[in-house]
């Protein structure tokens, strides 16, 4: 979450109006989260986005305070259309360049699983292998038809945290709906009309929730920050992730998520070892 924070902030910093609209979006989502109940509260991200988009439309298209929303693409887009499929081409150089990214994704997926475990209160370690295999199979299937590589989506973890919905069936249904909507160019054009300021405001909320989910793991596991080893490990991990610290080796770059994850693992292995206290030798006093 902290690693993604600069992306959200940068997307709403184009103008003062965009920054204020991001604040309005955060307020819309927050108000829906606190003052609504039932299904509306479950859909607080979606409802907050819709309300923020309506406010943006009124301020720009009606009052002329910012860049107006253009619906030209929506009106010209077809209701139904097939996506562009292409057969994969195997290139050794490209494969060697992309393959190391899997190392980063392993670290990212591991962090996502830990965040979900912290939110649900369940031990997700037995499912770790399934998650990695599923990620790999999905990427192979996507690449076989010319699609991009896929990975676990951090934003969904934030949505889970705020909606308190953790059912895997919900994500299966969402995936099916997303695939069906992928055959509608008009829906794609409609998504493109969502202002960047509104998306950025929602991202601030979601990315923040991801960071809180990570902190919740420390609280639930009662991490003792009075110990210097734990304190250094947490401090270094936060800065590496938030600052997007990268290490480059040849043509391979390990980004902030990877360096933070592997850094935490290494520091935990090195600093968690405690010196065994050797009791002082017993002094025997002999009487003269």
Same-domain status, 238 and 213: no
* Count of domains forming the chain: 2
pLDDT at 207 over 60: yes
**Which residues, in sequence order, are bridge partners of residue 78?**
none
The whole-chain average pLDDT of the chain stands at 77
So what's the pLDDT on residue 251? 64
120 is a domain residue: no
So what's the pLDDT on residue 281? 58
105 is a domain residue: no
108 is a domain residue: no
Separation between Cα atoms, residue 280 and residue 196, nearest integer Å = 67
Separation between Cα atoms, residue 161 and residue 75, nearest integer Å = 36
pLDDT at 275 over 50: no
Same-domain status, 177 and 243: no
* Number of residues in the chain: 288
Q: Average pLDDT of 194-206?
A: 82
Residues 6+ positions from 40 with CB-CB distance below 8 Å: 32, 47
Count of alpha carbons within 13 angstroms of residue 270, beta-carbon side: 8
Same-domain status, 78 and 178: yes
Same-domain status, 198 and 235: no
So what's the pLDDT on residue 276? 44
Q: Is 161:209 a contact under the CB 8 Å cutoff?
A: yes
Q: Average pLDDT of 16-33?
A: 83
Q: Is 25:49 a contact under the CB 8 Å cutoff?
A: yes
pLDDT at 237 over 70: yes
Residues 6+ positions from 193 with CB-CB distance below 8 Å: 69, 70, 71, 73, 74
So what's the pLDDT on residue 33? 79
**126-136 pLDDT per residue, tens:** 888 888 888 88
**26-79 pLDDT per residue, tens:** 888 888 878 877 777 777 778 888 888 888 888 887 777 777 777 888 788 788
77 is a domain residue: yes
Three-class secondary structure of residue 253 per DSSP: strand
So what's the pLDDT on residue 37? 78
So what's the pLDDT on residue 278? 46
Q: Which of 99-103, 185-189, 243-247 has the lowest mean pLDDT?
A: 99-103
Higher-confidence residue of 240 and 183: namely 183
Higher-confidence residue of 107 and 191: namely 191
Same-domain status, 55 and 156: yes
Residues 6+ positions from 214 with CB-CB distance below 8 Å: 1, 111, 114, 115, 118
Separation between Cα atoms, residue 109 and residue 113, nearest integer Å = 6
So what's the pLDDT on residue 217? 66
Residue with tokens 């609280």: 219
Q: Is 25:202 a contact under the CB 8 Å cutoff?
A: yes
Same-domain status, 28 and 69: yes
Domain boundary among 163, 191, 221: 221
* Degrees to nearest 5, angle at CA 64 with 60 and 69: 35
236 is a domain residue: yes
So what's the pLDDT on residue 279? 54
In which domain, by residue range, is 215 found? 5-86+150-221
Q: Is 151:105 a contact under the CB 8 Å cutoff?
A: yes
Same-domain status, 180 and 205: yes
Integer CA distances (angstroms), 248 to 100, 236, 254, 255, in order: 12, 19, 6, 9
Q: Average pLDDT of 241-252?
A: 72
**219-230 pLDDT per residue, tens:** 666 777 777 777
Same-domain status, 160 and 206: yes
Domain boundary among 197, 221, 245: 221
Q: Average pLDDT of 183-209?
A: 82
Most confident of 74-83, 90-99, 204-213: 74-83
**148-175 pLDDT per residue, tens:** 777 777 667 777 777 777 887 888 888 8
Q: What letter does residue 91 receive in the DSSP assignment?
A: -
10 is a domain residue: yes
So what's the pLDDT on residue 282? 58
So what's the pLDDT on residue 153? 73
Integer CA distances (angstroms), 103 to 52, 82, 251, 282, in order: 38, 33, 14, 53
Instruction: Show contacts of 29-34: CB within 8 Å, 24+ apart.
Output: 29/201, 29/202, 29/205, 30/205, 33/162
Same-domain status, 237 and 180: no
Same-domain status, 167 and 210: yes
199 is a domain residue: yes
Domain boundary among 221, 237, 262: 221
Same-domain status, 198 and 238: no
Q: Average pLDDT of 99-103?
A: 69
Same-domain status, 167 and 82: yes
In this structure, the strands spanning 247-249 and 252-254 are antiparallel
So what's the pLDDT on residue 277? 46
Tell me the percentage of the chain whose pLDDT exceeds 70: 83
H-only helix segments in the chain: 5-11, 16-35, 38-42, 44-57, 72-76, 92-98, 101-120, 128-144, 154-163, 168-181, 185-192, 196-220, 228-242, 256-271
Phi, psi of 249 (to 5 degrees): -130, 105
142 is a domain residue: no
pLDDT at 100 over 70: no
């Amino acid at each position: 979450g902290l690693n993604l924070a600069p992306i959200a902030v940068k997307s709403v910093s184009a103008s003062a109006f965009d920054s204020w609209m991001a604040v309005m979006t955060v307020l819309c989502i927050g108000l829906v989260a606190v003052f609504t109940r039932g299904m509306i509260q479950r859909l607080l991200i979606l409802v907050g986005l819709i309300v923020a988009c309506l406010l943006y439309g009124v301020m720009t298209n009606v009052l002329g305070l910012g860049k107006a929303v253009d619906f030209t693409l929506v009106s010209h887009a077809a209701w139904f259309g097939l996506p562009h499929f292409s057969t994969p081409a195997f290139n050794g150089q490209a494969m060697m360049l992309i393959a190391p990214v899997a190392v980063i994704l392993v670290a990212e997926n591991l962090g996502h699983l830990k965040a979900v475990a912290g939110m649900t209160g369940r031990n997700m370690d037995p499912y770790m292998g399934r998650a990695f295999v599923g990620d790999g199979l999905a990427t192979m299937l996507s690449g076989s038809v010319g699609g991009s590589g896929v990975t676990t989506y951090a934003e969904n973890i934030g949505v889970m945290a705020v909606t308190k919905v953790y059912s895997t069936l919900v994500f299966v249904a969402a995936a099916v709906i997303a695939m069906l909507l992928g055959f509608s160019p008009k829906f794609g054009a409609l998504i493109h009309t969502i202002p960047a300021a509104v998306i950025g405001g929602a991202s601030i909320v979601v990315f923040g929730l991801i960071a809180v989910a990570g902190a919740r793991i420390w609280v639930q596991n009662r991490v003792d920050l009075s110990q210097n080893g734990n304190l250094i490990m947490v401090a270094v991990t936060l800065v590496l992730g938030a600052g997007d610290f990268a290490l480059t080796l040849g043509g391979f770059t390990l980004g902030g998520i990877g360096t933070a994850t592997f850094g935490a693992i290494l520091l935990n292995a090195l600093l968690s070892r405690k010196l065994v206290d050797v009791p002082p030798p017993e002094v025997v006093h002999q009487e003269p």
